């Protein structure tokens, strides 16, 4: 595996990806205060039928080749998007994962879907999104009706951890402070528990790029957290997504300040009950599917569990494609 940062591919060109059998294409997004910005569209097998587009989570990138294989085996063309300043799209001197308005991701999602629709004219792709990517995808779908055929959310981050008082405090008191100094890094505890659950170097099965999916998550900056809180507020107020939504979660969460083997059989990042509660506020056609012993990234769980998740995902998508 390539363990450095990548450069942009030549304009309008698919090039071989770091994952064998995949290709990638750079999506230029102009410049921000840190310089040129781009996203990266990854493609597996474009010859198949209805396409799906995968969005990763926080401090993450697309690496799950088994998800791509499962999609193609069920007759779907598979694409994934590494958002700006993540994974294949992270460049030197950039603040990893930083953004101060989640709506800015509309640019790369729109560019990715435009290319996918060139490969598959007359089709409506589905979006599959994990964790923070799930929040991004839900807000995007709310703002862009009629552009996709379905939305699958893998443990989406739809609410801040803690009770309603804490969430209200963060939104009404801390949010203006963070907005006044958006680039300030917040001093927060960091844990590597989820990394241990998925990394082949620890208790998991996945070979992870050390810069793209580090042991400890990216530094959190005030402007980024303010953008997340604004997204959570919109979800709490209720969305009206116009397509069917499937939300996958584990059946339980396990939180601790020390690593425990229980984290190998639970979501150690998000409160699954809060996720399920918020998920039903996304639209009128929402299904929540809880999978026993799943990890936070349900698709990165041990093989029997992730296979169950793959089957649930594509059976659900196929049902709505056939209507």
Answer yes or no: is pLDDT of 81 > 60: yes
Question: Distance between CA atoms of 48 and 191, rounded to whole angstroms?
Answer: 40
Model confidence pLDDT, tens digit, residues 191-201:
999 999 999 99
CA-closest candidate to residue 66, choices 239, 282, 305: 305
Helix/strand/coil for 147: coil
Model confidence pLDDT, tens digit, residues 151-191:
999 999 999 875 454 555 556 655 676 667 888 888 888 99
Answer yes or no: is pLDDT of 144 > 60: yes
Token pair belonging to 251: 């059946």
Helix/strand/coil for 307: helix
Model confidence pLDDT, tens digit, residues 86-124:
999 999 999 999 999 999 999 999 999 999 999 999 999
User: With pLDDT > 90 as the criterion, what percentage of the chain qualifies?
Assistant: 86
Domains of the chain: 15-322 (3.40.50.1820)
Model confidence pLDDT, tens digit, residues 28-51:
999 999 999 999 999 998 887 899
Instruction: Look up the pTM and report it.
Output: 0.95
DSSP codes of every residue in 34-82 = TEEEEEEEEES-TTSEEEEEEE--TT-----HHHHHHHHHTTEEEEEEE
pLDDT at 165: 46
pLDDT at 252: 98
More reliable by pLDDT, 321 or 159: 159
pLDDT at 232: 96
């Amino acid at each position: 595996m390539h363990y450095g940062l990548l450069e942009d591919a030549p304009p309008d060109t698919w090039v071989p990806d770091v994952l064998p059998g995949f290709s990638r294409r750079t999506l230029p997004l102009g410049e921000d205060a840190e310089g040129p910005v781009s996203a990266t569209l990854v493609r597996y097998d474009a010859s198949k039928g209805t396409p799906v587009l995968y969005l990763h989570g926080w401090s993450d990138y697309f690496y799950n080749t088994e998800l791509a294989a499962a999609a193609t085996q069920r007759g779907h063309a598979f694409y994934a998007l590494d958002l700006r300043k993540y994974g294949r799209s992270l460049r030197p001197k950039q603040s990893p994962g930083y953004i101060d308005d989640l709506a800015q991701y509309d640019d790369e999602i729109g560019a990715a879907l435009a290319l996918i629709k060139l490969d598959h004219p007359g089709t409506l792709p589905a979006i599959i999104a994990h964790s923070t990517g799930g929040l991004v995808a839900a807000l995007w779908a709310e703002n862009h009706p009629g552009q996709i055929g379905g939305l699958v959310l893998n443990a989406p981050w739809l609410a801040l951890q803690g009770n309603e008082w804490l969430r209200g405090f963060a939104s009404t008191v801390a949010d203006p402070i963070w907005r006044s100094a958006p680039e300030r890094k917040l001093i927060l505890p960091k844990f590597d528990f989820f990394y241990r659950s998925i990394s082949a170097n620890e208790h998991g099965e996945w070979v992870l790029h050390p810069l793209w999916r580090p042991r400890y998550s990216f530094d959190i900056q005030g402007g980024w957290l303010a953008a997340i809180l604004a997204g959570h507020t919109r979800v709490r107020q209720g969305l009206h997504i116009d397509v069917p939504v499937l939300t996958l979660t584990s059946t339980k969460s396990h939180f601790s300040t020390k690593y425990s083997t229980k984290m190998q059989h639970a979501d150690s990042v998000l409160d699954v009950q809060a996720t399920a509660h918020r998920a039903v506020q996304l639209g009128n056609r929402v299904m929540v599917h809880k999978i026993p012993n799943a990890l936070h990234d349900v698709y990165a769980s041990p093989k029997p569990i992730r296979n169950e998740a793959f089957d649930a995902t594509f059976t659900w998508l196929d049902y709505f494609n056939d209507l």
